[in-house]
Structure 1
Amino acid sequence: MGNSVRAVATKGKRPLRVGATPVPHAEILDFVRDPLADCGIDLQIEIFESFDEPNELLVAGRLQANFFQYRPFLDNFNRLTGNALVPVVPVHTEPFGLYSMTVTAVEAIPRYAEIALPSDPVNVDRSLRMLTELGLITRDPVGFATVYNVRENPRALLFKQLSSWTLAEVRADFDVVFLFGNQAMEWGVDIGSALHCDQGNSAYAEYLVARPDNCDSYPVRALADALNREQTRDFILTTYAGQVLPAF
């Protein structure tokens, strides 16, 4: 279960409870707290360390919105669960990269290298797409590829699927590890040190998400407007120095 950050009730203001992952999502939300207070809204941020709970709690009505995911992840959740959560506005993009503590270049990845990748279907597919683009493998032309869809693997790379939240911790245990930008930042990993990085890809913009019954409500629309204002763009550019980019 998540932990609330500065979720102190403000008398006379409408509460808006939003689930988020810590960096940069919760930090960006915290930046827009004061403008929302001026609109009569008490923004309450609940932080989660996994990708599972925020959508489930939003569906259950425990949250009024969440901010942690990109469209392919949301679309897959809706498809698998039969829900219809709504992407309200895009906010930012984060780099997704290939990192190593021992290998210095993609070309130097050795035969039988052990590669750790996130285990959820959307990000397995994203990882395999990157490896295909780099010429390390070929994969079947399917919607969401799994490691079983790897068709050619000339370096006999060994794939290990792990929970996204453990990837940064196991960098020393693998030849190559996939990391999300927020994980790299939390662990002090320089994104510039990535062997390869997918940055600023609009297909993976992170969205504010709500339910069909409240996506057009005043509090959610006010939050969407605050997240997409020029001051928020400047905050993202200044705070994250290019490691996170505005998507609006």
Structure 2
Amino acid sequence: MKKRDLKMKKILSLVLSIVVVFALGGCGAKKEAVVTDKKIIKVGASPVPHKEILEVVKPLLAKEGYTLEIVEFTDYVIPNTALAEGQLDANFFQHVPYLETFSKEKGLDLTYTVKVHIEPMALYSSKYKTIADIKDGAEIVIPNDPTNGARALRVLEKAGLLKLKAGDLISKLDITENKKNLKITELEAPQLPRVLADLDAAVINANYAIEAKLNLGDALAVEAKDSPYANVLAVKTEDKEKPYIKALSEALTSPEVKKFIEDKYKGAVIPAF
């Protein structure tokens, strides 16, 4: 009888262990579901045009049961580190080459879901009205980050001011012809509009140009419309397929967003979808 009781106790103990394991497993699955289907989406963005575009997205996501929180950034570094550290669910401020270069240099596992718009860079000047007016030895300032610096140099090449080596990530060291002996200086992109009045000319990113009320029609040269530098929604690679990221991606490439970009920016920002 005792042996039988002992055997029954062991069986009951085993059954209880299995029940506990399944119960804990169920709790874990529940917890994971909450994370996967989160309803508050925190996105880092530059003020213009990214934050303005995201404001259009807010009501679209609200219809799907999501709340969009926009965190404003004015630099090109913190939004990616904040995303990688989990302080943000996504960010919207950069083009593909910058995202890929930054991620590689910093060892971050970031990717993107959709291409939203293109911001053509342009050459602005408060001293000259045309390319032909630019004097020998003039100083032209470009962004100091590698990808936007390379873009700026291509704008100058397209305008006939320089000739450059082939390649994507070029620098001023890759200038092969500079007939006007232009001085190419590098400066942080956000500062360019602020110091434009003191410069001969500067190649400025569209978001900062728009923010500074610079008119694209007054630019001396504009980046080609087939530019590969589309601005994207960046996310952690592990989050790419999550429902809330898919919902955000769909909203950012909706007809409502396309119409807003076309009506609001009139060519200064171009939809990429």
Q: Same fold (TM over 0.5)?
A: yes
Of the candidates 59, 63, 77, which is equivalent to residue 38 of structure 1? 63
Of the candidates 114, 128, 134, which is equivalent to residue 103 of structure 1? 128
Q: For residues 77 and 177 of structure 2, what CA distance do their matches in structure 1 show? A: 32
Match of 2:183 in 1: 158
Of the candidates 72, 83, 86, which is equivalent to residue 108 of structure 2? 83
Match of 2:257 in 1: 232
Match of 1:4 in 2: none
- In structure 2, relative to structure 1, the CA distance for the partners of 1:233 and 1:129 (3 Å cut) is same
- Which amino acid in structure 2 is aligned with residue 167 of structure 1? L
Match of 1:114 in 2: 139
Percent identical among aligned pairs is 36
Residues 37-76 of structure 1: pairs in structure 2 closer than 5 A: 37-76=62-101
1:172-214 CA deviation, whole Å, 9 max, x = no partner?
A: 1111111111112111111100001115334011101111111
- Which amino acid in structure 2 is aligned with residue 133 of structure 1? K
Q: For residues 166 and 109 of structure 2, what CA distance do their matches in structure 1 show? A: 27
Match of 1:3 in 2: none
Q: SS at the partner of 1:208?
A: strand
Q: For residues 155 and 50 of structure 2, what CA distance do their matches in structure 1 show? A: 24
1:144 aligns with 2:173: no
Structure 1, unmatched stretches of 5+, are: 1-12
Number of residue pairs aligned between Structure 1 and Structure 2: 237
Most deviating of 132-141 and 93-102: 132-141
Match of 2:41 in 1: 16
Q: SS at the partner of 2:55?
A: helix
8 Å CA contact 2:84–2:109 kept in 1: the answer is no
Most deviating of 132-141 and 185-194: 132-141
8 Å CA contact 2:121–2:155 kept in 1: the answer is no
Of the candidates 53, 56, 61, which is equivalent to residue 28 of structure 1? 53
Deviation at 1:142, TM superposition (A): 4.2
Q: For residues 202 and 85 of structure 1, what CA distance do their matches in structure 2 show? A: 22
RMSD over aligned CA atoms reads: 1.6
- Which amino acid in structure 2 is aligned with residue 37 of structure 1? A
- In structure 2, relative to structure 1, the CA distance for the partners of 1:143 and 1:233 (3 Å cut) is closer
1:173 aligns with 2:179: no
8 Å CA contact 2:82–2:88 kept in 1: the answer is yes
TM-score by length of structure 1 reads 0.91
1:15-72 CA deviation, whole Å, 9 max, x = no partner?
A: 1110000011001111111121121211110000000111111111111100001111
Q: SS at the partner of 1:32?
A: helix
- Which amino acid in structure 2 is aligned with residue 78 of structure 1? S
Deviation at 1:171, TM superposition (A): 0.8
Q: For residues 134 and 191 of structure 1, what CA distance do their matches in structure 2 show? A: 15
Q: For residues 132 and 213 of structure 2, what CA distance do their matches in structure 1 show? A: 25
8 Å CA contact 1:94–1:199 kept in 2: the answer is no
Match of 1:190 in 2: 215
8 Å CA contact 2:96–2:230 kept in 1: the answer is yes
Structure with the higher fraction of residues in helix conformation: 2
- Which amino acid in structure 2 is aligned with residue 93 of structure 1? I
8 Å CA contact 1:93–1:199 kept in 2: the answer is no
Q: SS at the partner of 1:167?
A: helix
Q: For residues 259 and 215 of structure 2, what CA distance do their matches in structure 1 show? A: 21
Q: SS at the partner of 1:72?
A: helix
8 Å CA contact 1:202–1:247 kept in 2: the answer is no
Of the candidates 101, 112, 117, which is equivalent to residue 92 of structure 1? 117
8 Å CA contact 2:43–2:91 kept in 1: the answer is yes
